[in-house]
Amino acid sequence: MRVELNPDLCQGHNRCYALAPELFDVDDYGTAVVIGEGSVAADLEGKARLAVDNCPEYAITITQDT
């Protein structure tokens, strides 16, 4: 699993960072960024889904590694 974040949609609520700091960080402008390549370890998949469900801007998407 991989998380992707659309910076054009992100409004900087930082809910994703609050819910899953292992997967998201915040840049100097308050916009969220994915950490590294966005790869999600198996034990963090629940947090990744939580972040998607709690982003009010629908800026986060999950893709499955093929």
Helices (H), the chain: 15-19, 45-54
Q: Least separation, in Å, of the C-beta of 58 and ligand SF4? A: 8
Residue 3's contacts (CB-CB under 8 Å, 6 or more residues apart) are 23, 24, 34, 38, 40, 48, 51, 52, 60, 61, 62, 63
Pattern of binders to ligand SF4 over 35-64, x per CB under 6 A?
--------------------x-x-xx----
Coil/strand/helix, residue 43: helix
Q: Least separation, in Å, of the C-beta of 61 and ligand SF4? A: 10
Q: Least separation, in Å, of the C-beta of 11 and ligand SF4? A: 5
Chain residues binding ligand SF4 by CB under 6 A are: 5, 10-16, 32, 55, 57, 59-60
